[in-house]
A and B are shown apart, each in its own frame.
Chain A
Amino acid sequence: MKITIGGVVKGGTSLAYKTGSWRDQRPLIDLDLCKACGICEEVCPDNSVYAEDEIYYIDYEYCKGCGLCAHECPVDAIEMVLEEK
């Protein structure tokens, strides 16, 4: 990798590093149970939960499978299942 003057690195370049490969548990959102409260998005340390038109999705490219979203979900709409490849 080229070293820049002062070692300056462009912002947001970590997106090229897909932390999803670290995952051994995969969160699955049951949209029938989901109340779209957004707590899962709030508590994700990896910015891997997002909403489009009030429907919540997991970004599996980066989700490390920590399980915080499933544990904090007030209606138990997220289940952690073993990751299989």
Chain B
Amino acid sequence: MNGERGANKEALFVSGHRACHGCGLALAVRHILKATGPDVIVVTPTGCLETFSSPYGYSPWRVPWIHHLFENAPAVASGIAAALSAQKRNNVRVVVIGGDGSTFDIGFGALSGMLERGDDVLYICTDNGAYMNTGGQRSGATPTYSSTTTHPVGRKSMGKPQLKKDLPAIVADHGTPYVATASVAYLKDLRKKVEKAMTYHGPRYIQIDTPCPSGWGFSSELALEIGRLGVNCGLVPLFEMENGSLTRVRKIRKKLQVTEYLKAQSRFKHLLQEDGSEYLKELQEIADQNIAKYALITSS
């Protein structure tokens, strides 16, 4: 086949997919599959990943991959895991890679069912904080005071007024043995978490922060820079929870103010105008609460 050289010789997710320039999600998928290896079946609900990786006749996937509906990825994955178990094919594992819209909102019921039943599925949520595939509508994962097309900024609105849903905590409360958050800004950490999750059996959940140049409003070369700012200001805490208790966090070496993170993205630019200061204070409080809750800074 054409183009089968260089980086594409060994890759499980190859070039020619139609993600935007500098897509954090496409980068995350490459590294997820590096960590899982080839013996996986990937299930993807509707979302950016499904759209950019499935124009008919052009698949970048070199592992078995299935798309179905927005709401039922966990149910489909449970079925595949049950079939593999019935066939005693224990060497093949099931991985869901879905966006925050399907995970936090539309497929949440099915996800809860999968967790409660204890099915052997690794569920990875690639979180870009809105329905980016359809133009950036608000989701349960949209951060507070972010402007979205369904919660635009105007005279009486400063963007989404609610908090981001704390899904890792909800998942952990189901008794899920392994829950972690990661960021594409820290790729080694991301791969290590996926590798670790693959050593567990039963349901596992990893939520990956995937900066989105077109949806968040920044230039494509900054995708990882923005990811790092998010982690180091405390708005995107990176941690691992095993059997319900916090076991490891990625410490912040040099704490940044949330404004450093917010001013780099047009979805938050209204907060930096005159009337935004009290809202900025609220976001700083959210970051400080995260830092205290997860002990992100070592007190010396």
Contact = CB atoms under 8 A, between A and B. Distances in A.
Interface of A: 1, 3, 7, 9-19, 22, 41-50, 52, 57, 59, 61-62, 64-68, 70-72, 80
Given A11-B61, A13-B58, A50-B6, A59 B220 contact: no
Nearest to A17: B16
Contact of B56 (A1, A42, A46, A59): A1
Nearest to A57: B6
Interface of B: 1-8, 11, 13-19, 21-24, 26-27, 30, 53-63, 65, 187, 213, 219-225
The 4 closest A-B pairs by CB, nearest first: A67-B221, A14-B16, A50-B6, A62-B15
Nearest to B25: A45
Contacts, number: 133
B57 A71 contact: no
B56 A19 contact: no
A66 B18 contact: no
A70 to B, nearest CB: 7
Contacts of B2: 15-16
Nearest to B188: A42
A69 to B, nearest CB: 8
B58 A61 contact: no
Given A15-B15, A43-B187, A67-B219, 5 more contacts: A14-B58, A17-B18, A59-B7, A67-B220, A71-B221
